[in-house]
């Protein structure tokens, strides 16, 4: 009987996918199909959840089959992520103006990314204090205890290393190994390696224009090839989101979410405040924030459901160039840098809130000015090298808690609501990199305001 019910659930999912295929054949826009996939996934997930119950074997088996589409889609995103990061940074050097504008551009992007992370830490601290969050008051079950042990094991190597050693680990001793994503700091290592090649290209361009032109042709060709693969993967987005949301909602422990409701609410309050900070930056740049929200909404929705900043990179860059009018060089830099530097949600708000929650359990007053200032500084410094895929927030938390001499095991108490909060964190991370790109383009004069202000701008993907 269970087998038949599992088969029935899978058939229903395939029928919903067929509905999305019909929408595609009727030339319904990509953005609307993504929203449709999200809505259908949530609705189907709720039906499965209330019909079978979260622990039913039928549901476990059904979600296992759903993962072929959902998890398979995420795997494909991860497949293209590292090559795209590498070629995006490298091609950015062939698209920017050499000279004073280049240094100004890179400096502004980094300043905004790291600066907003420091602000995010302050917002996270304020939210945690305002909601009176205390990790010692949270009951830990078996899953939370196991997660705490895993986090403690992960932190062992990190805590044994000094800050200078951790910084050295960011450097790519073997860039080909880092291109496989083998290390937790592989993303920033690939960015650094690509930047070295980019500066080498600029040196060649100053000395030998003809050779530089040949190199540029090769880089552009590889970029076009990688983007071709990206476009193929992105065509699967509505189907992937449908399967991911159906599985996530169906297996969510609503009871645990209710019990941890105060932390979830505090987290989303902090995330919302930081989103407003981003809009204030856009407004301060002389741009209409409402137009900005309309243009970036589909990309943020994708980041929210996929929980992958790296997977969202193609849409991030396309949104900046096609819909916001940012030059290609700045879009590539801000999008790629935003994967590993200054992630406001994962590296800013989350570790800061955890530190404030955990501090009372070891007798530290989180309201001490010295504790707050130290925490903000540590969060900003530690934000370099946070991975742009699932798990980046955990890595950032380990770094911050270890640096603050706080027990990392208590971070395991949040495992039951981790996916729910990670959705908002990822969307904020992506929005931070797009904000940095738009603001930088505006300051350097490389923003096409006609494209920005046009209501009917180009679709995210030409599919």
pLDDT tens profile 314-359? 889 889 999 999 988 888 888 888 877 878 888 889 889 888 888 8
Backbone angles phi, psi at 447, to 5 degrees: -110, 125
Q: Which residue has the tokens 């600066």?
A: 115
Residue 182, both tokens = 């083998």
The pLDDT score that the predictor gives to residue 284 is 95
Distance CA(201)–CA(116), nearest Å, equals: 31
Angle CA 277–279–285, to nearest 5? 110
Backbone angles phi, psi at 384, to 5 degrees: -75, 125
Distance CA(42)–CA(40), nearest Å, equals: 6
Sign of the CA dihedral with 231 first, then 233, 234, and 238 last: positive
Q: Choose among 36, 82, 161, 105: nearest CA to 446.
A: 105
Q: Name 64's Cβ contacts closer than 8 Å, sequence gap at least 6.
A: none
Q: Which residue has the tokens 């009727």?
A: 26
Q: Which residues of the chain have pLDDT under 70?
A: 96-101, 136-163, 166, 184, 255-259, 385-392, 409-416, 456-463
Centre a 10 Å sphere on the Cβ of residue 158 and count the other Cβ atoms it contains: 18
The pLDDT score that the predictor gives to residue 151 is 52
Distance CA(191)–CA(391), nearest Å, equals: 19
The pLDDT score that the predictor gives to residue 191 is 82
Distance CA(365)–CA(355), nearest Å, equals: 11
The pLDDT score that the predictor gives to residue 206 is 87
Distance CA(188)–CA(347), nearest Å, equals: 14
Q: Name 345's Cβ contacts closer than 8 Å, sequence gap at least 6.
A: 120, 271, 274, 393, 424, 425, 426, 427, 428, 429, 432
The pLDDT score that the predictor gives to residue 270 is 95
The pLDDT score that the predictor gives to residue 97 is 57
Cβ-contact 327, 441 below 8 angstroms? yes
The pLDDT score that the predictor gives to residue 463 is 42
pLDDT in tens, 397-455: 777 877 787 877 666 556 667 778 888 999 999 999 999 999 999 998 889 988 998 87
The pLDDT score that the predictor gives to residue 273 is 96
Distance CA(334)–CA(432), nearest Å, equals: 9
Q: At what angle do helices 30-52 and 2-25 cross, to 10 degrees?
A: 160
Write down the pTM of the prediction: 0.79
The pLDDT score that the predictor gives to residue 100 is 53
Coarse DSSP helix, strand, coil percentages of the chain, rounded to the nearest 5 percent: 80, 0, 20
The pLDDT score that the predictor gives to residue 106 is 83
**DSSP assignment of 6-54, as one string?**
HHHHHHHHHHHHHHHHHHHHTT--HHHHHHHHHHHHHHHHHHHHHHH-T
Q: Which residue has the tokens 């996929």?
A: 306
The pLDDT score that the predictor gives to residue 112 is 93
Q: Choose among 170, 168, 96: nearest CA to 440.
A: 96
The pLDDT score that the predictor gives to residue 149 is 52
Rounded-to-10 torsion of CA 57, 62, 67, 70: -130
């Amino acid at each position: 009987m269970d087998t038949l019910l599992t088969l029935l659930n899978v058939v229903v999912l395939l029928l919903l996918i067929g509905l999305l295929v019909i929408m595609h054949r009727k030339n319904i826009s990509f953005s609307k199909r993504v929203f449709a996939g999200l809505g259908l996934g949530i609705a189907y997930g709720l039906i499965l959840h209330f019909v079978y119950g979260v622990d039913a074997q039928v549901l476990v088996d059904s979600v296992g089959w759903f993962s072929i589409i959902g998890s398979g889609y995420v795997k494909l995103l991860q497949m293209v992520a590292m090559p795209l990061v590498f070629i995006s940074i490298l091609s950015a050097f062939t698209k920017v103006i050499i000279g004073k504008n280049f240094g100004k551009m890179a400096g502004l992007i980094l300043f905004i990314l790291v600066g907003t992370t420091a602000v995010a830490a302050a917002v996270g601290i304020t939210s945690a204090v305002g909601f009176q969050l205390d990790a010692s008051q949270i009951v830990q079950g078996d899953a939370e205890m196991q997660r705490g042990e895993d986090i403690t094991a992960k932190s062992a190597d990190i805590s044994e290393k000094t800050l200078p050693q951790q910084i050295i680990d960011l450097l790519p001793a073997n860039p080909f190994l880092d291109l496989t994503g083998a290390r937790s700091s592989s993303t920033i290592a690939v960015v650094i390696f690509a930047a070295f090649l980019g500066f080498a290209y600029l040196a060649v361009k100053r000395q030998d224009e003809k050779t530089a032109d040949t190199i540029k042709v090769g880089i552009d060709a590889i970029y076009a090839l990688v983007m071709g693969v990206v476009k193929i993967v992105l065509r699967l987005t509505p189907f992937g989101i449908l399967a991911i949301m159906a599985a996530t909602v169906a297996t969510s422990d609503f009871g645990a979410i209710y019990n941890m409701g105060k932390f979830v609410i505090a987290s989303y309050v902090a995330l919302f405040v930081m989103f407003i900070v981003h809009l204030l930056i856009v407004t301060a740049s002389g741009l209409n924030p409402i137009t900005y929200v309309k243009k970036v909404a589909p990309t943020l929705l994708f980041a929210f459901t996929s929980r992958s900043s790296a997977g969202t990179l193609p849409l991030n860059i396309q949104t900046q160039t096609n819909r916001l009018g940012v030059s290609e060089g700045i879009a590539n830099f801000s999008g790629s840098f935003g994967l590993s530097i200054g992630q406001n949600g994962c590296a800013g708000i989350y570790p800061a809130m955890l530190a404030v929650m955990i501090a009372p359990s070891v007798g530290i007053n989180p309201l001490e000015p010295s504790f707050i200032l130290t925490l903000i500084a540590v969060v900003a410094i530690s934000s370099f090298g946070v991975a742009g895929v699932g798990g980046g927030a955990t890595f950032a938390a380990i770094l911050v808690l270890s640096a603050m001499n706080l027990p990392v095991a208590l971070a395991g108490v949040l495992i039951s609501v981790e996916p729910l909060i990670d959705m908002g964190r990822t969307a904020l991370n992506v929005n931070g990199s797009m904000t940095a790109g738009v603001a930088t383009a505006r300051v350097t004069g490389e923003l096409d305001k006609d494209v920005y202000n046009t209501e009917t701008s180009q679709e995210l993907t030409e599919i």
